[in-house]
């Protein structure tokens, strides 16, 4: 019975990984690499341009780090919620198991009483 919450958590993690791949592409990193590939000449003008390009790369990397941090925080919240839901499910399964045992006992008692009524008549 405990395998069901574990499978649910695994399925949730797979969904999170797929969502991460679909909604958080690494476009910023690709853009930063494209900026760095620009050719640089040996005079001052291109050197200043290269410094500006490096600033842009750093800005984009900082933006990517912020986005990754936010994504990790959201994933942690989802994992916490999944863990809490798994704990609640386990508790509910235990109570349902107790209820089903009582129901089986009552059904057996009903059958026994029916047999006794038929035998004593």
Averaged pLDDT score across all residues of the chain:
80
Our count of domains for the chain comes to 1
Over range 69-75, report the average pLDDT. 87
pTM, full prediction: 0.47
pLDDT in tens, 43-60: 567 778 888 888 998 988
Rg, Å, the chain Cα set: 31
In degrees, rounded to 5, the angle at the alpha carbon of residue 20 between the alpha carbons of residues 17 and 24 is 165
Euclidean distance between the first and the last CA atom of the chain, given in angstroms as a whole number: 44
CA–CA dist 82, 55 (Å, integer): 40
Tokens 């649910």 — which residue? 8
What SS3 state is found at 26?
Answer: coil
Q: What domain range is 95 assigned to? A: 3-120
């Amino acid at each position: 019975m405990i395998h069901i919450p574990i499978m649910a958590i695994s399925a949730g993690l797979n969904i999170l990984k797929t969502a991460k791949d679909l909604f958080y592409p690494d476009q910023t990193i690709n853009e930063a690499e494209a900026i760095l590939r620009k050719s640089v000449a040996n005079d001052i003008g291109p050197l200043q341009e290269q410094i500006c390009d490096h600033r842009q790369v750093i800005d984009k990397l900082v933006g990517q780090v912020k986005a990754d941090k936010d994504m990790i925080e959201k994933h942690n919240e989802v994992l916490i919620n999944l863990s809490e839901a798994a704990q609640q499910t386990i508790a509910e399964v235990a109570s349902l198991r107790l209820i089903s045992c009582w129901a089986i006992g009552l059904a057996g008692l009903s059958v026994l009483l029916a047999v006794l009524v038929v035998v004593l008549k």
